Structure 1
Amino acid sequence: MPAKRRTKLKTRMIFTLGLVSVLQTLLIGLFAGYYLSESLYNEIGQRALMVAKTIAASPAIINGIQQRNVEDLNTLTHTLATTNEALFIVIGDHDAIRLAHPSPARIGHSMADDDGDYGHKALVEGEGYIARAMGNLGESMRGKAPVLDPTNGAIIGIVSVGYSVAQVEATVQHYNFILYGVLGVVLLISILAAVVIASRFKRAIFGLEPEEIAGLFQERDATLQSVREGIIAINRDGIITTVNLAALTTLGLDEDTPVAGRPILDILPESDLMSVLSSGIPDFDREVWLRNKQMVVNRLPMRQGDDIIGVVASFRLRNELDHVSQQLTHIQQYADTLRSQTHEYSNKLHTIAGLIQLGAYNDALGLIGSEVSSHQALIHLLLEAVPDPIIAGCLLGKHNRAREMGLHLDIDPDSQMTDLPDNLPRDQLVSVLGNLIDNALEATRRHTGPNGRVQLSMTDLGQELIFEVEDQGPGVAPELQNQIFEKGVTSKAGHEHGFGLHLVRKFLDSWGGSITVENLSVAGGSRFTLYLPKKPTGRSPSCPPSDC
């Protein structure tokens, strides 16, 4: 069954904002129209009452009522109605009998026969009031006021002033036309604004739909959690915004620890993320201590335009990287050994085949015997002196590598390395020995050419394991002897060197060993002597410098 097609976000936003604008405009229009209508009716009523009170206080009106001068009162009310644009002005005596009215036939009759209201509140209570009623002249807003005798304050009559409701409704319609016109323009502007807002919002989220954003968020979270490196991100205020499970595990924090939303310095007081945030300079492959663990950290500032909005850091335990590096080193060593053996034996097999074809059988047998004897002697020496198969295999590989380079790796027949501590990491020891021998072979080949010799001697007597590697290279310059073990320092050309001896130093520091370097003669040659205690005395990789 095909998935239900969803309306696009832009369409939904325009429809929603447009609907809100329509409802808002409709409510405002209804309220404004109602308020305007009521205000106008009230204003006309107040005007009618004000005119009524003014007429009731006129001496001419008072005298006309007292003298019951109907003709003068009608003439006067007609003039006043015209002047005040009133529908009518009616005057009655204290019994609500009309003395003046626009229709002469109504004069002399009770005002109650018009709308049932004879002006009780004005004639009895003496108060002016406003009323809306249907009379013989049509529906009107009326203001009624009592006429008082100025000598004794007695109520002697009533004045009723009326304004046509049709006039009020015409005024209301006029103002409503203007009001609804303005509201229509406002509605149109609101709809256009909804289109603009929806378009800008859609561009701000790269044209994605909410469902697509949700999918990307889930994908991003899954990707973040699948990365084996710890990842922490902070915003410009130093607040943690993102952290993955690997980060919590690496830092030794509980998975339920509330980390997101807290300042980075509360979780990692020793963190340098704030300095990267202020400087904006990325930091790669920095070895640091975090929560008593040695780690390799990469820090990268996040930018929005020219502003730094945060920093993201990825980190991993240093020993994990060392383990990977050591595995790569072993693979390289195995590959070198196989390649050198293949190359060497291929040449010798070709030589033997040629001797047989020439009929020089004795020479072929002699070559085979010497080869077998040489290898048997080396293997016998390694089995006797170095029973550990990992170290013996490394030395055998380096021996074959030397022969491929046209050099000789001589192992002292008096060497002995049988008392190896069980907790000594063989892979690290092999990496250290391999680096020293490789450096010696390279230095010898560059200085003496073919047939140069590198000598190795080993002893496990006493409380230390001692390895000596002598080469026939140019030696180590005195000014480099104290720096040769620093990262990046090398006597070779190129930027890809200067790491092997640094790794040697790192291993020795962690185990508590030491190494010395000395030149053998003015003509050249150097000796590297490695000392490893059988019981480790150095700093543990999980111990920070301040605690060791």
Structure 2
Amino acid sequence: MDYPEKQTTKSRALSVLRKTKLKTRMILTLGLLGTLQTVLIGSFAGYYLSESLYEEIGERALMVAKTVAATPAVIEGVRTRNIPALNQLARRLTETNEALFIVIGDHRAIRLAHPDPTRIGYSMGDDDGDYGQQALQHGQAYVARAKGSLGESMRGKAPVSTPETGNIIGIVSVGYSLEQVENTIRRYNFVLYGVVGLMLLFTVFSAIIIAGRFKRAIFGLEPEEIARLFQERDATLQSVREGIIAVNRDGVITTANRAAYETLELPENEPLAGKPILDILPESSLMSVLQTGQPDFDREVWLRGRQMVVNRLPVRQGEQIIGVVASFRRRDELDQVSRQLTRIQQYADTLRSQTHEYSNKLHTIAGLIQIGATEEALNLIGSEVSDHQALLHLLLEAVPDPIIAGCLLGKYNRAKEMGLRLEIDPGSQMADLPAELPRDQLVSVLGNLIDNALEATLHKAGNGGRVSLSMTDLGHELIFEVEDEGPGVPGPDRARIFERGFSTKGEKHGIGLHLVQQFVDRWGGSVTVENLSECGSRFTLYLPKTPMAGGHP
């Protein structure tokens, strides 16, 4: 159980940690971690070095002891108890092997040779309590660490045996001063700690570099800011009504919002993240965007048996493509909005044209009446009524569909407003329209073709120009022909005239004919363009009454 004081201390520590910059936190964390690792490694290395030196000096002492014990002169000196010869030999061997001392004793551990002559004749046990029983009784050479009259030393002890019978007749003790070992260890430790210090500095320097690069990689944001941005991004994704799916460079889904599940009718209890996009949407083209890096906007595709309008945008990190984000919405939702806008636009165009035209006619009739030209006024009224009645009669008989008829009536009035004539072939017939043919899209296609013809005619022929339209539904196709009196389409441009953005009218054009081509491709029809012998051009639209498989918009 935490007491209030401890809880206050914890809260203060957490508050201070949160206020500390990420770069500072990383430097402190990496620095402390590097320091801890360096200290542990240095301590282990120092300990291992010390133990290795102690072991090495012990092995050396043992090896010298065995060698001295096996020397014939030492064996003979111990057997005959030739103390002067043994002492002289021990001093020479001590200098030769750089040992602290070499002590030789008999089978009772009585010293026969010792650096201090006053200790000769006394038991070796008086020095360190070790009588050498392990060597004298069991014949085993061994290493011992003890503190004697000459200081602390590492000692190697070996039995002296007669070569003839193998009887143990004495013992040899060779000692190396531990002060030399400790000096060596201090010298090695000095180098070791110097290396550890350099490693520590390198660790801190590396921590500063890593923290700086990491900070730049996350655009200088703090962890709390990243968390807040992530929450905002998630809330934004979930609030968007369009479906959104993101994939990484391997084509694996990383993000999908709720609208994506609803639009594709996928079960929400099965997360999409971590699954390959081609397993969920085999017909997806996201992998091609990954390869080409070209964005794709307002593309109409089929996904899971439904027509979608899709936008795809590659995600780049520097020069590399690291993923693709796709947003999509069902086409029928856009169609509904498009139909409403199309009808409103048709009504507006029709009303605007009729208002402008009839305003001019009323002013003319009023002027004729004022000057007393009553007969001319009546003729003008009759001609106007006759023209509209004839057009309305033609449209009612040839085009029973009110949407298409309304479009043609609006274009007729617009042509008159522009000072042109839109003539509809009296022999036209367009009654056998398939029910599944989207009227709003057909109206858009016809409207684009007629508008282009009117603009081309006005540019070339001026006021009084004529645009002709003929329609037929005989056979298995719907055929629409639009002729104008414009400058025609140059031969090199015919192959590109239906490309998006290509136009000879300026940068704000180049969309209408591209939409025509898209609709025709989806429905399985075709559209052709040819120049007329005199002037102008003819656009012919062919639409099958039965769409091709999978081509239903």
The TM-score, its normalising length taken from structure 2, stands at: 0.73
What residue in structure 2 maps to residue 172 of structure 1?
A: 185
Report deviation, 1:348. 6.9
CA contact (8 A) 1:456 1:467 kept: no
Structure 2 residue aligned with 1:124: 137
Mapping 1:54-93, distance limit 5 Å? 54-93=67-106
Which of 191, 198, 213 is residue 211 of structure 2 equivalent to?
198
* More divergent stretch after superposition (132-141 vs 334-343): 334-343
Deviation at 1:290, TM superposition (A): 3.4
| Structure 1 residue 48 corresponds to structure 2 residue 61 | yes
User: Does the CA contact (< 8 Å) of 2:74 and 2:86 recur in 1?
Assistant: yes
Rounded Cα–Cα distance in structure 2 between residues aligned with 1:380 and 1:400: 14
Mark the CA change 1:54 to 1:419 in structure 2 (over 3 Å): closer, same or farther. closer
Distance of 1:315 and 1:302 partners within structure 2: 17
C-alpha contact (below 8 Å) 1:385/1:415 kept by paired residues: no
Q: Structure 1 residue aligned with 2:30, among 3, 11, 17?
A: 17
**What CA deviation, in whole Å up to 9, does each residue of 1:403-452 have, x standing for no partner?**
53345779999999999999986655765675576567657766775567
Match of 2:302 in 1: 289
In structure 1, the partner of 2:505 is 494
Instruction: Describe the shift of the 1:411–1:57 C-alpha distance in structure 2 as closer, same or farther (beyond 3 A).
Output: closer
Structure 1 outlier segments of 4+, above 6 Å: 348-356, 361-364, 366-384, 386-393, 408-426, 451-460, 466-471, 475-480, 512-519, 521-532
Structure 2 match to 1:154:
167
Counterpart AA for 1:544: G
Note the C-alpha offset of 1:120. Answer: 0.9
Amino acid at match of 1:102: P
Distance 1:140 1:369, change over 3 A: same
* Structure 2 letter corresponding to 1:539: P
* SS of structure 1 residue aligned to 2:154: strand
Give the Cα separation in 2 of the matches to 1:87 and 1:58: 19
Between the aligned partners of 1:367 and 1:198, the Cα distance in structure 2 is 90
Amino acid in the other structure paired with 1:110: S
Gaps of 5+ in 2: 1-11
Compare 10-19 and 336-345 and name the one that shifted more: 336-345
Q: How does 1:526-545 map to 2 (within 5 A)?
A: 538-539=546-547, 544-545=550-551
In 2 relative to 1, CA 106–401 (structure 1 residues): closer, same or farther, beyond 3 Å? same
Matched residue SS, 1:124: helix
Could you tell me whether the CA contact under 8 Å between 2:66 and 2:141 is conserved in 1? yes
C-alpha change, 1:502 and 1:50, in structure 2 (3 Å) is closer
**Deviation sequence 1:235-291 (CA, Å, 0-9, x none):** 444444444444444444333444443333333333444444445555555444333
Please tell me whether residue 207 in structure 1 is matched to residue 220 in structure 2.
yes
Query: Aligned partners of 1:478, 1:23: CA distance in 2, in Å?
Result: 80
1:393–1:159 Cα change, 3 Å: same
Moved more, 287-296 or 418-427: 418-427
**1:183, 1:250 → 2: CA distance?**
62
| Paired residues of 1:435 and 1:501 also in contact (CA < 8 A) | no
Q: Residues 429 and 73 (structure 1 numbering): CA distance in 2 closer, same or farther, change over 3 Å?
A: closer
Instruction: For 1:509 and 1:175, locate their aligned partners in 2 and report how far apart those are by CA, in whole Å.
Output: 83
How far residue 203 of structure 1 moved from its aligned partner, in angstroms, is 2.5
The answer on 1:265 being equivalent to 2:278 is yes
Measured in 1, the distance between the counterparts of 2:242 and 2:82 equals 110
Percent identical: 65
2:117 is aligned to 104
CA distance in 1, matches of 2:167, 2:539: 135
Native 8 Å contact 2:460 2:487 kept in 1:
no
Quick one: distance in 2 between partners of 1:216 and 1:518? 57
Among 121, 133, 136, which residue is 2:146 paired with?
Answer: 133
Query: Conserved in 2, the CA contact under 8 Å of 1:10 and 1:202?
Result: yes
Find the residue that maps to 1:159 and give its secondary structure.
strand
C-alpha displacement at 1:14, in angstroms? 1.6
Given that 2:499 and 2:514 are in contact with CA atoms closer than 8 Å, whether structure 1 keeps it comes out as no
Deviation for aligned residue 1:339: 3.8
CA–CA distance in structure 2, aligned partners of residues 453 and 50 of structure 1: 122
Whole-Å Cα distance in 2 between the matches of residues 516 and 81 of structure 1?
115
Corresponding residue number in structure 2 for 1:8? 21
Distance 1:502 1:402, change over 3 A: same
In structure 2, how many angstroms separate the alpha carbons of the residues matched to 1:522 and 1:363?
44
Q: 1 CA distance for matches of 2:38 and 2:230?
A: 38
SS of 2:19's partner is coil
Contact 2:465 / 2:485 at 8 angstroms: preserved in 1?
Answer: no
Distance change in 2, residues 1:8/1:369 (3 Å): farther
Q: Does 1:26 align with 2:39?
A: yes
Report how many aligned residue pairs link the two structures.
Answer: 533
Q: Hey, what's the Cα distance between the residues in 2 that align with 1:68 and 1:488?
A: 119
* Counterpart secondary structure, 2:138: coil
The within-5 A match list for 1:149-548 is 149-304=162-317, 307-340=320-353, 343-344=356-357, 360=370, 397-398=410-411, 400-406=413-419, 427=440, 431=444, 450=463, 473-474=484-485, 487=498, 494=505, 496=509, 499=512, 503=516, 506=519, 538-539=546-547, 544-545=550-551
State the secondary structure of the residue aligned to 2:145: strand
Q: Tell me the SS of whatever aligns to 1:25.
A: helix
Q: Give the TM-score normalised by the residue count of structure 1.
A: 0.73
Secondary structure of the structure 2 residue equivalent to 1:40: helix
Structure 1 unmatched ranges of 5 or more: none
Match of 2:3 in 1: none
Describe the SS at the equivalent of 1:92.
strand
Give, in angstroms, the shift of residue 131 of structure 1.
Answer: 0.9
Shift of 1:216: 3.3
Does the CA contact (< 8 Å) of 1:436 and 1:501 recur in 2? no
Tell me by how many angstroms 1:114 deviates.
2.1
- Cα deviation code 1:468-499 (max 9, x no counterpart): 9998x54998999xx99x9469xx95373683
Deviation by residue 1:48-74 (Cα, 9 ceiling, x = unmatched): 222222222233323332333333333
